[in-house]
């Protein structure tokens, strides 16, 4: 889908053996980074000022996603988009009744303490994106990057082109 919109896609799955220099080169040459909330989102620090950082935010992780990555990314000069999934985009939707607080009121579950948050929202949850809904974030990001490139081409004194 991202390629159809106009992006050149590179998938990077860092693990414990991935050299930091490889991650740096990949992200520093990218216009957009997309990932699901988690420790690897820290790699946004390798992105260039003005790049787009899209964080997929699972149920029950809104506060952490904004506090640990969204806010800092904005301060770092990135265009940040948080894509908060709907209950139907979570594997938890198949495990719990539709009116269960795990789906309807994650804050109340988080208020019970870290052990509940970790066990339910971090350890057991898988994300399955609604691609029609997520596509809007990709289109907006692509339009932003293209406008930024055109601005730099028209006014080279504004910065270095990313393309």
> CB under 8 Å to 42, separation ≥6 — which residues?
69
Q: Is residue 61 part of a domain?
A: yes
Predicted confidence at residue 14, as pLDDT, reads 86
Residue 146 lies in domain: 2-88+130-151
Q: Is residue 104 part of a domain?
A: no
Predicted confidence at residue 149, as pLDDT, reads 84
- What global pTM score does this model have? 0.88
- Encode pLDDT of 59-72 as tens digits: 999 999 999 999 99
Burial label for 58, CB within 10 Å (0-12, 13-18, 19+), is buried
Q: Is residue 28 part of a domain?
A: yes
Taking 50 as the pLDDT cut, the residues of the chain under it are 160-163
Predicted confidence at residue 157, as pLDDT, reads 59
Overall domain count for the chain: 1
Predicted confidence at residue 161, as pLDDT, reads 45
């Amino acid at each position: 889908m991202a390629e159809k919109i106009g992006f050149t896609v590179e998938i990077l799955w860092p693990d414990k053996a991935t050299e930091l220099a490889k991650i740096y080169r990949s992200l520093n040459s990218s216009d957009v980074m997309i990932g699901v909330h988690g420790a690897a989102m820290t790699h946004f620090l390798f992105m260039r000022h003005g790049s787009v950082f899209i964080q997929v935010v699972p149920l029950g992780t809104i506060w952490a996603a904004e506090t640990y990555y969204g806010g800092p990314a904005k301060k770092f000069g990135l265009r940040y988009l948080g894509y908060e999934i709907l209950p139907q985009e979570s594997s938890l939707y198949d495990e719990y009744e539709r009116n269960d607080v795990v789906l309807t009121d994650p804050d109340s579950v988080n208020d019970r303490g870290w052990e509940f948050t970790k066990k339910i929202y971090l350890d057991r949850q898988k994300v399955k994106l609604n691609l029609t809904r997520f596509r809007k974030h990709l289109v907006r990001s692509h339009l932003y990057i293209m406008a930024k490139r055109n601005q730099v081409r028209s006014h080279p004194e504004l910065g270095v082109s990313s393309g």
